[in-house]
Amino acid sequence: IEEKLTSIEADPIVDDRIPFWQGLSLTCDSIIAFADRYAEEATRLVAETLAPTRKAELEQIAKICRRVPREPAASFREALQCTWFLTVIAHIFQSGGGITLGRLDQILLPYFRADIKAQAITILEAQELLDCLWLKLQELNVARSSEIVTAWAGYEVNPTVNLGGQTNSGCDATNELTYMCLLAEQHIHMRNPQLILRIHDDTPHQLWHAAIETMKAGGGKPSLISDKVCMLALTRLGVPEDELLDYRVIGCAEPTTGDSRMMIRWSWLCLPKVLELTLNNGVDLRTGKQVGPRTGDVHKFMHFQQLLDAFDRQVEYQVELITETINQIADPLVAEMMPHLPLSLITPHCIETGRDLTQGGADRTWSVIWPIAPATTANSLAAIEHQIYHNRVTTWDELLAAIAQDFEGHDVLRHRLLRSPKFGNDDDAADKLAQHVVRSVYNAVERRTNNFGGPFTTGFITLGANVHYGHYVGATPDGRRDGRPLSDGMSPSQGTEHEGPTATLKSVAKLDLSHAGSGGILNLKFNPVLLLEETDIQKFIHLNETYLNDLGGLQVQYNVISTEILREAQAHPEAYQDLLVRVVGYCARFVDLSPDVQEDIIARTEHSLH
């Protein structure tokens, strides 16, 4: 930074790179001062402490905080402290969530092995320090508006730790710290951090067993991510081959490049609302306003394909609105009002170009549209095709009247709609329509670019927005009632998959998830008793290996908990204060969730391996 400031001879009023570099320099000083305050406090406590052991700990803390992040870490303790400082600083500036600690088992490994070899630390001491980091991560929080909290239920902040995967040479990357991080999760077992386990063809069975032991503790950790599909998705976004193997996941399930040379902006697209507009010629029934294009009166659609074509045009229009909003309003406002100097400081090319991360300083950017509830939408289309066009037992007048009246007085029709084909059962009648829905989004999104010349991509991540947005969507043709939750992520609609987990995974894998450059979330629920016997554990491992390595599955995560326990926790929350559940791409205490979100989790199908 100093070299840039001394080598550029320009008027700072004319050249806005100079204030940026000056801001970065001030940020460096601020980060050092931030750490120094901890060193000063530890030193103050030394004088007040009589216990020799604690006094020695405080002296060591003061020494470490004076060194990092001012200087490079030189030990395992220093590396952990530096990681924590930078995580806190990123959260302070961003005032939000989804900050990743990266591939922690790879980043910390050289420090750990060097300290063990030099006998500067024992394995038990290193495990205790990791456990302490897990505890510190619980302190991260952010104040949000009441509306946002309904979409991001359960104090979602979601710092991510990535484990496993492959080395840059393509070998399995599992090491001692991989297992120690899973142990830290078992020891602490709280909402943070989000654990990502990268899966590939050579993931060791020992690691599978360690991951399953962690899952059995409850809380839906770790989330399983396919190396193969993530790297295909990143390749579509222009990531070069030499960076792919070191990718990591941020936030819920979003893969990103290893050296963090990018910036993401995102928005949601509520697909059942798009279908509602399609059925009403672009009119929003709740407001009576024309908010979509006039794509035709469905009564005049003689063929089902005409309905699909109209839906595609509505998707195209809404995607255009979203991309224009991001490019013309959101990005310029963020660049002007919310620069991110700490991340710009450690993002390649920002210093070189003299541009903040939010202003295109990174050499790679992409923007994201997350479609909400493809399963609800596909099921609705399947019901229409099945009841109106194939069986011809329902008319458009009957269906639209029933939807408008939230099925009151239309019980027979609703029963027929509920019995129509449903996504998640390996039934092509519904799955082909899910493929059409997501392909429609892929086509509309991928031909657009953002302000910095980067691509738009998609992903299937809803946080808790499937519950929140459900309040704004009327009854749907799949039999769902007005205001009820929509399907989450790329999961089937709640309680509609009846053919077992194998069928569910096969349905999801049909969605060509290599286009999901921003990842996706598939939630499944298992009863804990199904993972007690070794034969069942082996079935579970083979199920996931086939899905993630062979079928093209992108991601899956499990709530290993019974519906009975969840109902008990609803009735007696005081007895279940430590009950952790997977909401979507993050975890939360069950008792912290609103009744709507609790019911959404309970309504998920409880799968069996038999």
The per-residue pLDDT for range 395-426, each reduced to its tens digit, is: 999 999 999 999 999 999 999 999 999 999 99
pLDDT at site 489: 94
In the predicted model, residues of the chain with pLDDT beneath 70 are: 10-13, 95-96, 147, 150-156, 258-265, 609-610
Phi, psi of 448 (to 5 degrees): -110, 155
What is the C-alpha to C-alpha distance for residues 422 and 420, in angstroms, rounded to an integer? Answer: 6
The structure tokens 């406590």 sit at 45
Q: What residues contact 45, with CB distance under 8 A and at least 6 apart?
A: 58
User: How far apart (Å, rounded) are the C-alpha atoms in residues 256 and 262?
Assistant: 8
- The residues near 301 (Cβ < 8 Å, ≥ 6 apart) are 307, 310
pTM to 2 decimals?
0.93
d(C-alpha 122, C-alpha 119), whole Å = 7
Residue 210 identity = A
Do the beta carbons of residue 192 and residue 133 sit within 8 Å?
no
Cis peptide before 492 (omega within 30 of 0): no
User: Can you give the pLDDT at residue 440?
Assistant: 98
Which pLDDT score is estimated for 259?
60
pLDDT (0 to 100) of residue 12? 64
For 56, the token pair is 């020695």
Tell me what pLDDT residue 103 has.
96
Nearest to 360 by CA among 428, 265, 458, 223: 265
Beta strands in 461-591 (DSSP E): 523-526, 555-560, 580-582, 587-589
pLDDT at 463: 78
d(CA 318, CA 312): 10
194-199/587-589 β-pairing = unpaired
Q: What is the pLDDT of residues 434-448, one digit of tens each?
A: 999 999 999 999 999
Region for residue 382 given its phi and psi (left: phi exceeds 0; alpha: psi -120 to 50; beta: otherwise): alpha
Query: What is the reported pLDDT for 130?
Result: 98
